Chain A
């Protein structure tokens, strides 16, 4: 329901969609654009007042929703229902969907609204245009879920699942799959509750077998419900996760792996970092060989180089025997620290400090230079400014030390960050700083001892 305003733009031309989505990035609203486009569309012919007032009414509703004035929105909505009787058949057909979206939004927030009102509205809207029956049923179920009414939600989903009307189109098939999958997800929820119960019970308990039987039955139903959906291209994270959990629970590791591999590697699916994370975590649990883990994370590295798993990736690479993996390990560390969100990650800095030193010691100066080349313009001010030196030292001396070491290695001992930390003369860290000073002198890439 949250992305409703975007979807509302449904029945308009493509050009306009591009324009508004570009312009309305910050939730802005351009009524003039709408009117301009409308006049172009009808070729300058004078619109009927009915069309004019209803479109004005729509803008008033949108404005009221934007300002969270549910009362006003409901007032205008009262008039907007007449678009269901629009003499323009194109608009008449588009009306139920718009009304459903606006109306459900209003009823979701309106203080006088309650579950009953929403139910009545949803049931009415379902039967106005059969085109929307499934979509509305699904959203109705989600609404009930939101209000913690699991059983009712399940019933709505079952109703929708068995609904048959007219031809089966491909878009309808997806919806049916989705509905079934949601039903599966609800079953998973009961299952996992039962599982928890089971884990609390003693095996000798007289209730144990009954509960276990129950757990088994559920899993079977759920797998049927979910598996159809996750074969279709899309992002199905919660479904996949729960499905795999169940498969794993019953020892079907191959099945789980197949699902996850398919989810991560099938090219028809949209690129999805979570798919790789799930697969990685699964393989880790299965104690898969390192090379396999590396190959999974390599893809994740390409999608999200700042992911927290990258440090794990680095460790894996470091432990590997292959030289190219070692080089990649350096790349990965630099990559992580390129992101503003990771600048205070002490582990990353620690790894980097150690690894740069190790690399330099291992006579791979070129690797470091290669990484540094693209960063030397901006890293100094991004990480190693005087300001950062001061604030890092104040907040976290350990972090400041690690950073200073890296700064020294990369920028030489003249670097301000390094010099500032050296000057601080910390009692406990004194020794460490001294050692650091020596290493910098020896290995810094700025003045390579040739």
Chain B
């Protein structure tokens, strides 16, 4: 009976209202004045896994513990909030400013709860079955400035504890909970509203899913104009730098998941670029967000900067940058109006910054080398001869040599990537099961798998496999010192450009369009990419870049077509048949 140890327990006794607690042998609290024994036990309170703040929430009686087997009462949205919290933490560790977590993401999330009528509104859902009637909702129009709770609201330290800041949600909820508490819903899911949640289908409602959490992250990154593109974000997810797959396993011990929660929180796929992109727009529209901060020339997401980054990444000469800038200027893709995301515009669309920048590079490569499996090689011959003769000068860029080096590096990278994927361990330490009946089976299976893995890991060579890669926005690394892998950054484009008066022209005066006809119907696809119809060099370049961004080659092809459409607007409008033409001035 240790009275000292029981000191942190400050709740009043339900029988005599005294605050004087002792510990029983089983670790449960008992009232020293009336000897009433509580259900609450010492382990939970002192457990290291659960941060202190959560215990406070527990003490407030918000999370009622039915019994130790069942865990806490919790809501699906709390689960997502927890995942978002972890993701925000991970982003912070990647070097993103703390405002992202505390202000932006927090407010987006609050707004989401409000819009989806889960909290911060007068008549939240959850009253079983009954659809919410007309709600008093002063957020229906984007009236950002007058919003009291959005970004300027610094007073609420967002998500400091993952669960704690939810208290205000809970206070409102707890009234309802008490009514629907012991309802049968909890039988089929660990969360209180798992069943209801998965059945909820309302027009216009954007339901949270695990991929949706990334949409939230990306929106906040975009709002903050951080130097992380969507493809970077997804790659970090794939490399396990950002919690996503099995993010639920870091939930507090007492948040039990099973049954319907399995479908809500279990993921067996990595996020897909197109999917998250669409979800981002969907969420932004649903949240009714105002125009995002302008993407100006000094932002990382501006095509000029991204182009520079990708040119470096794929080992192309720096001189190409001025050409990409020119294309960006001619197409108007560098304008803030074009680049800035505005969810309340007539057609909400955001730019796929990374894909677009890469597409610009592809277009420039086509302008310079035509990429018809012919001209690029004859230009390479010229460059090779020139370089042999003038060994001291700045070497001309040799496409063939670049191709050989890139092909090797790319194949290696891709092979490693495929192998790493094949070895990926999907299953969490906490198995998800359908019902309590399945629980022992699921745990036994897990144990067996772990044992087998242990056994086989003794057969594997003890040399450590480099461990987890540290996150980097660059996947390739080219340095002047490396003699094996030539670095082309400093090579010149003289061999492919010629002077004419004041301006420089590309030696190559031909061009072919990736797409000659755009689909006229209302379907979303711009064009189809049938690999075999295109030159091998073009295929290689598309494959290389699409691998870097972890997207499908067809998506990049589509973007290239769109850039070309802007660049050769006239050609498209005047004659759609002619595919070859175009002279560029610089």
What residues make up the interface of A, taking CB atoms closer than 8 Å to B? Answer: 48-51, 53-54, 56-57, 60, 70-71, 74-79, 81-82, 84-85, 87, 99, 103, 106-107, 110, 112-113, 117, 120-121, 124, 128
Contact = CB atoms under 8 A, between A and B. Distances in A.
A81 B427 CA distance: 10
Interface centre among A49, A54, A76, A103 (most CB of B within 10 A): A49
B522 interface: no
B425 A82 contact: yes
A50 B452 CA distance: 19
Report whether over half of chain A's contact residues are helix, strand or loop; otherwise say mixed: helix
A116 to B, nearest CB: 10
Interface string B138-173: 000000000000000000000000000000000000
B568 to A, nearest CB: 34
Given A50-B426, A56-B422, A106-B459, 14 more contacts: A50-B268, A54-B422, A56-B421, A57-B422, A57-B423, A71-B460, A74-B460, A79-B425, A81-B456, A85-B427, A85-B449, A87-B268, A112-B459, A117-B455
B455 A85 contact: no
Contact of B419 (A60, A70, A78, A128): A60
Nearest to A113: B459
Contact of A49 (B268, B419, B446, B452): B268
A75 B453 CA distance: 10
A215 to B, nearest CB: 43
A112 B458 contact: yes
B451 A75 contact: no
B142 to A, nearest CB: 35
Contact of A75 (B421, B426, B460): B460
Contacts of B446: 85
B475 to A, nearest CB: 20
Contacts of A77: 456
B206 to A, nearest CB: 21
B432 to A, nearest CB: 9
A78 B445 contact: no
B422 A76 contact: yes
A384 B423 CA distance: 62
A196 B89 CA distance: 78
Contacts of B448: 84, 124, 128
A82 B426 contact: yes
Contacts of B457: 78
Contacts of A82: 425-427, 449
Contacts of A113: 459
Interface in B451-475: 451-453, 455-461
A142 to B, nearest CB: 21
B431 A85 contact: yes
Contacts of B425: 79, 82
Nearest to A110: B459
A48 B445 contact: no
B210 to A, nearest CB: 13
A74 B455 CA distance: 10
B418 A56 contact: yes
Interface centre among B266, B269, B445 (most CB of A within 10 A): B269
A71 B459 contact: yes
B338 interface: no
Nearest to B423: A79
Nearest to B421: A53
Contacts of B427: 82, 85
Contacts of B403: none
B282 to A, nearest CB: 19
B529 to A, nearest CB: 18
B449 A78 contact: no
Interface of B: 266, 268-270, 418-419, 421-427, 431, 442, 445-446, 448-449, 451-453, 455-461
Given A49-B270, A124-B448, A124-B452, A76 B426 contact: no
Nearest to B424: A53
B534 to A, nearest CB: 21
A82 B425 CA distance: 7
Contacts of A78: 423, 453, 456-457, 460
Nearest to A127: B448
Given A56-B418, A60-B422, A81 B459 contact: no
Interface centre among A78, A113, A121 (most CB of B within 10 A): A78
A74 B456 CA distance: 6
B422 A53 contact: yes
A49 B267 CA distance: 9
A121 B459 CA distance: 12
Contacts of B268: 48-51, 87
Nearest to A56: B422
28 contacts: A49-B421, A50-B269, A51-B268, A53-B424, A56-B418, A57-B423, A70-B459, A71-B459, A71-B460, A75-B460, A76-B422, A77-B456, A78-B456, A78-B457, A79-B422, A79-B425, A81-B453, A82-B426, A85-B446, A87-B266, A103-B452, A103-B456, A106-B459, A112-B459, A113-B459, A120-B455, A124-B448, A124-B451
A84 B446 CA distance: 9
Interface centre among B426, B442, B445, B459 (most CB of A within 10 A): B459
A135 to B, nearest CB: 18
9 tightest A-B CB contacts, nearest first:
A50-B268, A74-B459, A57-B422, A49-B269, A48-B268, A56-B422, A79-B423, A78-B456, A81-B452
Nearest to B461: A71
Contacts of A87: 266, 268
Contacts of A56: 418, 421-422
Contacts of B449: 81-82, 84-85
A444 to B, nearest CB: 67
A85 B445 contact: yes
Contacts of B426: 50, 53, 82
A72 to B, nearest CB: 9
Contacts of B269: 48-50
Interface centre among B269, B422, B451, B453 (most CB of A within 10 A): B422
Nearest to A87: B268
B452 to A, nearest CB: 5
Contacts of A48: 268-269
Nearest to A73: B459
Contacts of B451: 124
A60 B452 CA distance: 19
Nearest to A106: B459
A87 B418 CA distance: 22
A50 B245 CA distance: 11
Contacts of A99: 452
Contacts of A120: 455
Contacts of B423: 57, 75-76, 78-79
Contacts of B455: 117, 120-121, 124
A57 B422 CA distance: 5
A396 B479 CA distance: 74
A80 B108 CA distance: 40
Nearest to A125: B452
Contacts of B456: 74, 77-78, 81, 103
A106 B446 CA distance: 22
B457 to A, nearest CB: 6
A153 B226 CA distance: 66
A121 to B, nearest CB: 6
B85 to A, nearest CB: 25
A53 B426 CA distance: 10
Contacts of B460: 71, 74-75, 78
A384 B445 CA distance: 69
Contacts of B461: 71
A81 B456 CA distance: 10
A419 B444 CA distance: 83
Contacts of A60: 419, 422
Contacts of A53: 421-422, 424, 426
Nearest to A120: B455
A75 B463 CA distance: 12
B183 to A, nearest CB: 27
A130 to B, nearest CB: 13
A84 B451 CA distance: 12
